[in-house]
Amino acid sequence: MNLIDVTQLVAGYGNNAPILHDVDLALAAGKIGVIAGPNGAGKSTLLKAIFGLLNIHSGDIKHNGKSIIHLRADQLVAEGLAFVPQEFNVFESLSVEENLEMGAFIRTDSISDSIDHVYEYFPPLKEKRKQAAGELSGGQRQMVAMGRALMSRPTLLLLDEPTAGLSPLFMEKIFERIIAVNQAGVTVLMVEQHARQALEIADQGFILVTGKNAYTDTGDALLNNDEVARSFLGGVS
């Protein structure tokens, strides 16, 4: 069974015309899924729709076989989903550690282990724990954002362009961390601009164009598909 199952989804912002048209997406537990596509294709919109932030016109979203389209964001977190938005994804005036605590808001047990765990994933954060997140560099902010999402101990992590604006070196580091998180048992569904690098670590790839599924296949198959490579991956490699 798939961990997340999006079927025939039509969704948009408020009462405006829908952005997503009949989108399908399925990802099995423990895998890494990558959503790619041109700017404005609706990639972020799809993640927001999964996370209950948009108006769903029709279609369904199932998590573990259970429909989640009527759940509020805090209920989704309790269900085991976590979401790192594309921008404004840290509480700038809160310290790094407080950001992490906010990620664990729904938990009632002790969270100090999880905090230590996040510091193991992202060692630079440990020194900066008392510093306001707004004062950190772009890469460190991204770490705080992912760390915050991991604090609720999710089974499905949604990441929107985790490497946007980062240097190639930092991008590598973040990808490496994503793989580490995935190996610890968290299913990852992420949107990436750097489609080639992302598809290399992906089990499953989804290419969206103007709000519709264009290609869906395994990461390797998409990388080897000439048409995909030409249109979306910046030339044949």
Partner 1 sequence: MNEFIFFFNKVIVSGAAIGSVYAMGAIGVTLIFGILRFAHFAHGDMMTLGAFFAFGLTVMFPQAGQLFGLPTGFIMLPFAMVLTALVAVLLDRTFYEPLRRNKINPVGMVMASIGVTLMLQGLIRLFGGIEARHFFFAERKDIFRLALPFESASRKIVITEPQILLFVFTLLAVLAIHFILNRTKFGKAMRAVSDNVDLARVSGINIQKVTVITWMIAGSLAAAAGVLLSLDVSLKPDLSFNLLLPIFAAAIVGGVGHPYGAIVGGYVVGFAETLSIFNWAVFLRPFRESLPDWYELPSKLALVPTEYKITVPFFILVVILIWRPTGIFKGKVI
Ligand X SMILES: Nc1ncnc2c1ncn2[C@@H]1O[C@H](COP(=O)(O)OP(=O)(O)O)[C@@H](O)[C@H]1O
Q: Which of residues 70-99 bind Mg ion (CB under 5 A)?
A: 86
Q: How far apart are CA 187 and CA 81, in angstroms?
A: 10
- The sign one gets for the Cα dihedral 21, 24, 29, 33 is negative
CB of 44 to Mg ion, least distance (A): 3
How many C-beta atoms lie closer than 10 Å to residue 193's C-beta? Answer: 16
Q: Looking at residue 85, what DSSP letter applies?
A: -
Query: Considering the complex, what minimum distance in angstroms separates the CB of residue 12 from ligand X?
Result: 7
Instruction: Give me the least distance between CB of 109 and ligand X, in Å please.
Output: 35
The count of residues interacting with ligand X (CB under 6 A) is 11
Residue 110, contacted partner among ligand X, partner 1, Mg ion, none, CB below 5-8 A by kind: none
Among 7, 13, 62, 177, binds ligand X (CB under 6 A): 13
Residues 36-95 that bind ligand X (CB under 6 A): 37, 39-45
- Partner touching 39 among partner 1, ligand X, Mg ion, none, CB below 5 to 8 Å by kind: ligand X
Residue 33 pairs with which residues in a beta bridge? 189, 204
Q: Which amino acid is at 46?
A: L
Contacting residue, 7, 44, 64, 197, with Mg ion by CB under 5 A: 44
Lookup result for tokens 């840290």: 90
Residues ≥6 apart with Cβ < 8 Å to 209: 37, 38, 41
The entry of ligand X, Mg ion, partner 1, none near residue 152 (CB within 5 to 8 angstroms by kind) is: partner 1
* 17 CB-near residues (< 8 Å, 6+ apart): none
| Beta bridge mates, 155 | none
Q: Rounded to the nearest whole angstrom, what is the least distance from the CB of residue 43 to Mg ion in the complex?
A: 5
Residue 20 Ramachandran class (φ > 0 left, ψ -120 to 50 alpha, else beta): beta
Q: How far apart are CA 161 and CA 198, in angstroms?
A: 10
193 lies in the site for Mg ion, by CB under 5 A: no
Q: What is the contact mask toward partner 1 in residues 82 to 121, using x (rule: CB under 8 A)?
A: -x-x--xxxxxxx---x--xxx-xx---------------
What mask, x for binding partner 1 by CB under 8 A, covers residues 22 to 61?
A: -----------------------------x-x--------
d(CA 230, CA 214): 14
The footprint of ligand X (CB under 6 A) covers 13, 16, 19, 37, 39-45
Q: Which residues bind Mg ion (CB under 5 A)?
A: 44, 86
